[in-house]
Amino acid sequence: MINLPLVFDISIGLIFIYLTLSLIASELQEYMSTVLQWRAKHLNNSIESLLSGGSEANSADLQNESVLSDGNEANSADLQNVKKLVQNLYNDPLINTLNHGASGIIEKKMRKVTRILGKQNIASKKSAASYIPSETFTSTLLQTLKLPELIQKARMGNGESKENLSLILASYHELKTAIEAPPDSEEYKNIKKVYGDVDHELKTIVKTLPDYVPHSVITSLSALAKRSQFKANNLDEELNQFRQEVETWFDRSMERASGVYKRNSKGIALVIGFILAILTNTDTFHVISRLSRDSALRAGLTQYANQAALNQNASQENNLTEFKQNLDQELDSVSLPIGWTVNNYCQQFDDLRDCTKRNEHKKWQSRIIPILRTILGWIISGIAVSMGAPFWFQLLNKFINVRNTGSKPVTYTKDRPSSNS
C-alpha cells in the first residue's frame, strides 16, 4: 500500500531543492544577460531586421560580415544602410537617454572583454537601451528621415501631396537628383507635383536628408501610408493615423522578437541548469533516495517549506522575493542532500566502494551503472532547474496545501453572514 504522506514529503523536499537551485540559476542568467547585454543586442538585431524588410534572409545577412562586404552590391549597400540608420537612431537623444550603462567594476570589466571578443558593437556605444517605446521609435525614425519637414513643406505648397501622404514617400529617394534636374525633365515635374515650386527652402531641406536610408524602409512606410489613407478623411487625420500605423508596426515586430528572445532564454536556462546540477552534484535519484531513507532530513525540508507557504501575505511574485531573501538564513539549519561533500559523495557512490567485493565479471557493471544513473540524475535536475523558480514555487504551494488538506479556511464571522443575521 502506498504511503501517501511519505510520497508528499519526498515530493515537497525535492521541489524545495529544485526551487532553491532555480533561484540561483535565474540570478546567474539575469546577471549574464545584463553584463553581456543580451536584451540590448537582441533589440538591436530586431530593429535591423524590421528596417531591412523583416525577412529571415536579410536578418541573417545583417549578422554576416562576409555578406555585407561581398555578394550583390545593391543588396549589400542596402544592408549597410540599414546598420547606419539604426546606429543614427540609437545616437538620437530620445533613444540615447534610455540607456543605463553598467556602474559596477565587475560589470564594466566584463563588458569590455565582450566588446573585445565580440563582433558586434551596438551603435558604437559601450552599452545600449534594452527597451524602446514605440512612440519614441516612431518620433526618432520620422525625424531622422526629415519627414516632418517634408510634410510641412508640401502642405505649404500647391502640390498634390495635400491629398496623398504616400506621394511624399514615393518621391523620397529621387529628391536630391530631381531638384538639380532640368525643369522640363520628368523627375523635376514629379517633384513639382508633390511640393509645388522647387524653391530655396525645399532645396535646403533636401540637402539635410540622410544618404543612408534603405529602400526597404521607404517601401514599408509607403505601405503604412497607403493603409492610413483609407482610414482618414483628411491629411491631418492621415498623419495621425500614419504615426499610429508605424507604432503598431514596431510593436508587432517587438512582440515577435520577444517570443524569439524567450525561446533563446529557455535554451540558455537549460544549459545553466545542467552546469549548475553538475557543479552542485544535484542527482535527482540520489536526492529521492536520501529523502526516502532520512526521516530527519525529510522532516526538516518539509517543515521549512510548510512555513514558507504559510507566511504568504501578498502576490506570488512578492512571496517569491520574500522567499529568496529568507532562503540563505534558513538553509543554514538544513543539510541538503546535494554537493560534493565527503558524506554526500560516499552515500551517492556507495555502490562503487562495494564493487571490489563482487565477482570479477560484474565489476564493470557495478561501476558503470551508478555513473550512468548519476549522469541521468544530473540531466533530470538540469531540466527541472530550467523550468524556473516561479513554476516550482507555485507547485510547492499546491503540494503544501494538499498535504495540509487544503488552504487555510476563511474566517466565518468575516466572510460569511452570521446565523443571527
Residue 67: pLDDT above 50? no
Q: Report percent pLDDT > 90 for the chain.
A: 34
Residue 74: pLDDT above 70? no
pLDDT the model gives residue 91: 92
pLDDT the model gives residue 232: 75
202 or 110: which leads in pLDDT: 202
Q: Which three cell numbers stand for residue 239?
A: 498623419
Q: Report percent pLDDT > 70 for the chain.
A: 71
pLDDT the model gives residue 369: 83
Please answer whether residues 168 and 161 qualify as being in contact, where contact means their C-beta atoms are separated by less than 8 angstroms: yes
Nearest to 29 by CA among 389, 393, 402: 389
Which tens digits make up the pLDDT trace of 231-251?
777 767 888 899 999 999 999
Strand, helix or coil for residue 149: helix
Most confidently modeled range among 58-62, 122-126, 180-184, 213-217: 213-217
Residue with cell 500605423: 245
Kindly state the average pLDDT of the residues 273-302: 92
211 or 58: which leads in pLDDT: 211
What are the domain boundaries of the chain?
4-27+280-403, 37-130, 138-249
Residue 280: pLDDT above 50? yes
User: Residue 180: pLDDT band by 50, 70, 90 thresholds?
Assistant: confident
Please answer whether residues 222 and 166 qualify as being in contact, where contact means their C-beta atoms are separated by less than 8 angstroms: yes
Residue 75: pLDDT above 90? no
Lowest average pLDDT, out of 131-145, 295-309, 321-335, goes to: 321-335
What is d(CA 399, CA 392) in angstroms, rounded to the nearest whole number? 10
Rounded to the nearest integer, the mean pLDDT of the chain is 79
Nearest to 151 by CA among 199, 187, 198, 205: 205
pLDDT the model gives residue 331: 64
Which tens digits make up the pLDDT trace of 123-148?
445 567 889 999 999 999 999 999 98
Which tens digits make up the pLDDT trace of 362-415?
566 667 888 899 999 999 999 999 999 999 988 988 888 887 764 444 444 444
Residue 30: pLDDT above 80? yes
What interhelical angle do 134-144 and 147-156 show, nearest 10?
Answer: 60
Which tens digits make up the pLDDT trace of 76-89?
778 889 999 999 99
Most confidently modeled range among 118-132, 298-312, 352-366: 298-312
What is d(CA 100, CA 189) in angstroms, rounded to the nearest whole number? 49
pLDDT the model gives residue 367: 74
pLDDT the model gives residue 78: 80
pLDDT the model gives residue 237: 80
**Cα dist from 173 to 164, 209, 211, 213, 319, whole Å:** 17, 10, 9, 8, 57
User: Residue 306: pLDDT band by 50, 70, 90 thresholds?
Assistant: confident
What is d(CA 2, CA 5) in angstroms, rounded to the nearest whole number? 9
Kindly state the average pLDDT of the residues 254-270: 93
Q: Quote helix, strand, coil % in the chain, to nearest 5.
A: 75, 0, 25
Strand, helix or coil for residue 339: coil
pLDDT the model gives residue 349: 78
Kindly state the average pLDDT of the residues 18-33: 92
**Cα dist from 346 to 284, 339, 340, 341, 363, whole Å:** 16, 11, 9, 8, 18
User: Residue 282: pLDDT band by 50, 70, 90 thresholds?
Assistant: very high
Contacts of 98 (CB under 8 A, 6+ apart): 129, 131, 132, 136
Based on its alpha-carbon atoms, the radius of gyration of the chain, rounded to whole angstroms, reads 32
pLDDT the model gives residue 60: 53
In the 8-state DSSP scheme, what is residue 211? S
Nearest to 266 by CA among 44, 26, 17, 78: 26
What is d(CA 128, CA 122) in angstroms, rounded to the nearest whole number? 7
Which tens digits make up the pLDDT trace of 89-122?
999 999 988 876 555 555 555 555 555 544 444 5
Kindly state the average pLDDT of the residues 68-75: 55
